Amino acid sequence: MIPRALLFVLLVLLVPCPIPAAELHGKVQELKITILSTMLADGDELGEWGFAALVEVDGHRILFDTGAHTDVVLKNARTLKLDLTTVPEVILSHWHWDHVGGFMTLRDSVRGAAPGALARTHVAEGFFYSRATAAPPVENNAMLRVRPDYEQTGGTFVVHDRPVQLYPGVWLTGPVPRKYPERNWSGRGRMTTSAGVVEDNVPDDMSLVFDTAQGLVVLTGCGHAGVINITDHARTFIRPARINALIGGIHLFNASEETLAWTTEKLRGFGVDNFIGAHCTGIETVYRFRRDLGLDRAHAVVGAVGAGFELGRGINAGEIAK
Ligand SMILES: [Zn+2]
Ligand SMILES: [Zn+2]
């Protein structure tokens, strides 16, 4: 005769327990994004042509991009009293100098006190392609030189060739399919791939997307893949939700009237509730988006250092961008 309590335990062990769908496709509960590098800055913070942001999501801390100058993100983090020794992960949105410039300085600034800080770096396939010019022979991709230095400090790179869920509801897009011809790059660069030397369309451009109960929050670096390709892709592999917030650089500063009109029409179709246009977005683009997406000054601003977004609370614009 099996005792009743033991029978219950056996039953619990034997009956297969389905993993709740919420855990497979989790939703982010708490999210705060703070800009650490962009052109506009308040008070003692420093502005530069570059981008970086600190992401705090459900107890995880991630540094997204590292600015252009070697020391600007480090100085801004100190001014804003943001401790980077408790940030294990880095995401580099693409190989360009204005997103990777502070990378080694930041790693060196934390590894003495915290060897595991900024020690794991996510990039997308194509990030380490050579961007050499033939005459004079110059390698423009600085990360090919930085890679062994970083690995010598104990740092590791993770190269993604597809979307990946880092934590429940926290998604990296990996390389973004170029469904629409947004051609959001200079056209002058060349890269060496297995198919030979071809135009550099920045195939490694990737974004970070958060799935929340309010919709998707999309964080971009330069958005070279095109903001519509990025958001359309995220809505395909995560879910076709509204865009609760679009934050970062989307490289439309020199876009034509036609491009701006097409882009806002597409975004209006998705639905955008908050917009922080930082870095290479362009000032005019921000105000065009504000008008054409039906947003107001509380929901569409130029991104400044120290400004950011908090899920459920919205945009904190800082002083100058209010
Ligand atoms: Zn950039
Ligand atoms: Zn770029």
Question: What digits encode the pLDDT tens for the residues 92-124?
Answer: 999 999 999 999 999 999 999 999 999 999 999
Question: Cα of 51 to ligand 1 centre, how many Å?
Answer: 6
Question: Cα of 11 to ligand 2 centre, how many Å?
Answer: 57
Tell me the ligand closest to 279's alpha carbon: 1
Question: Cα of 258 to ligand 1 centre, how many Å?
Answer: 22
Question: Cα of 247 to ligand 2 centre, how many Å?
Answer: 15
The three-state secondary structure class of 142 is: coil
Q: Which region holds residue 292: left if phi is over 0, alpha if psi is between -120 and 50, else beta?
A: alpha
- Taking the C-alpha atoms of residue 230 and residue 221, their distance in angstroms, rounded to an integer, is 11
Query: What does pTM read for this prediction?
Result: 0.92
Half-sphere CA count of 320, side-chain side, radius 13 A: 13
Q: Which of 45, 95, 43, 44 is nearest to 66 (CA)?
A: 95
pLDDT at position 21 over 90: no
Question: Cα of 2 to ligand 1 centre, how many Å?
Answer: 68
Mean pLDDT for the stretch of residues 73-93 = 98
- Taking the C-alpha atoms of residue 116 and residue 189, their distance in angstroms, rounded to an integer, is 35
Taking a C-beta distance cutoff of 8 angstroms, is the pair 185, 94 a contact? Answer: no
Taking a C-beta distance cutoff of 8 angstroms, is the pair 125, 160 a contact? Answer: yes
**Higher per-residue confidence, 297 vs 21:** 297
pLDDT of residue 186: 85
Tens of pLDDT, residue by residue over 52-76, are 999 999 999 999 999 999 999 999 9
Question: Cα of 222 to ligand 2 centre, how many Å?
Answer: 5
Taking a C-beta distance cutoff of 8 angstroms, is the pair 119, 86 a contact? Answer: no
pLDDT of residue 140: 96
Tell me the ligand closest to 65's alpha carbon: 1
Helical axes 227-237 vs 257-270, angle rounded to 10°: 20
Tens of pLDDT, residue by residue over 174-194, are 999 999 999 988 888 999 999
Question: Cα of 91 to ligand 2 centre, how many Å?
Answer: 14
Three-state secondary structure of 82-137: CCCCCCCEEECCCCCHHHHCCHHHHHHHHHCCCCCCCCEEEEECCCCCECEECCCC
Domains for the chain: give ranges and CATH numbers: 26-312 (3.60.15.10)
Q: Which of 181, 179, 198 is nearest to 190 (CA)?
A: 198
Helical axes 103-111 vs 72-79, angle rounded to 10°: 50
Question: Cα of 221 to ligand 1 centre, how many Å?
Answer: 6
Question: Cα of 26 to ligand 2 centre, how many Å?
Answer: 30
